[in-house]
Chains A and B, each alone.
Chain A
Amino acid sequence: EDKVVQSPLSLVVHEGDTVTLNCSYEVTNFRSLLWYKQEKKAPTFLFMLTSSGIEKKSGRLSSILDKKELFSILNITATQTGDSAVYLCAVEAGNQFYFGTGTSLTVIP
């Protein structure tokens, strides 16, 4: 059965800390891995990764994919209270998307 597993389930850090969120997957016909940030409403898109070893960056956020070991990490440096959210990892296999249950990040001042 296909699955996407995220860790940790939840994380509490202080402002300014750096965090690393993990996503491992086990799917057939892998096509891409996506990261989303979900606050109170719908997920908003962060990154889409298709190739191993190529880091994607957006401000303080960065992500990389390892297709050999079947995982991705999302890094957030110099965290801010506005980074508090659930971070979802989704894997596209064929034309279907499989979501992990998310990592809940809380950044305290």
Chain B
Amino acid sequence: DAMVIQNPRYQVTQFGKPVTLSCSQTLNHNVMYWYQQKSSQAPKLLFHYYDKDFNNEADTPDNFQSRRPNTSFCFLDIRSPGLGDAAMYLCATSPWPGQAQHFGDGTRLSIL
């Protein structure tokens, strides 16, 4: 089945140690999104790519960066994770901007 796959499902890192989360899709969708979801809160959009066009949300911290080397893959890099970055990170895709998004199962990030 076509799907959105996130790896790893659970990631533990140390305070200040860079970490990379990955997302791949077999849907051939043009748009990929990264969301941060903290406990009992709505998902918050960090970035999205429309093809290779990168869009950074105004309030996304500089500590967060993203790469999309090809249509199928997208990475979220956290350069120096702080305790406040512990959250579920959701990757989503959509065929075109403004269409319904398909989500991966998420990566739960813990910071020690």
What 5 additional pairs, Cβ within 8 angstroms, besides A43-B90, A96-B57?
A42-B92, A95-B97, A97-B33, A101-B40, A101-B42
Determine whether B72 belongs to the interface, using a CB cutoff of 8 Å to chain A: no
Check B106 against A31 for contact (C-beta < 8 Å): no
Interface size on A, residues (CB 8 A): 19
Interface size on B, residues (CB 8 A): 23
Q: Binding site of A, secondary structure by majority: helix, strand, loop or mixed? A: strand
The answer, among A32, A34, A42, for a CB contact under 8 Å with B106, is A42
Which A residues lie at the B interface, using CB under 8 A? Answer: 4, 31-32, 34, 41-45, 48, 88, 92, 95-97, 99-102
Q: How many A-B residue pairs have CB under 8 A?
A: 43
Question: With the chains together, A97 CA to B90 CA distance in Å?
Answer: 14
Question: With the chains together, A48 CA to B96 CA distance in Å?
Answer: 14
Q: Binding site of B, secondary structure by majority: helix, strand, loop or mixed? A: loop
Determine whether B70 belongs to the interface, using a CB cutoff of 8 Å to chain A: no
Which B residues lie at the A interface, using CB under 8 A? Answer: 33, 40-45, 48, 50, 55, 57, 90, 92, 97-106
Which residue of chain A has its CB nearest to the CB of B99? A48
Given contacts A42-B90, A100-B42, A102-B42, contact A95 B102 (CB under 8 A): no
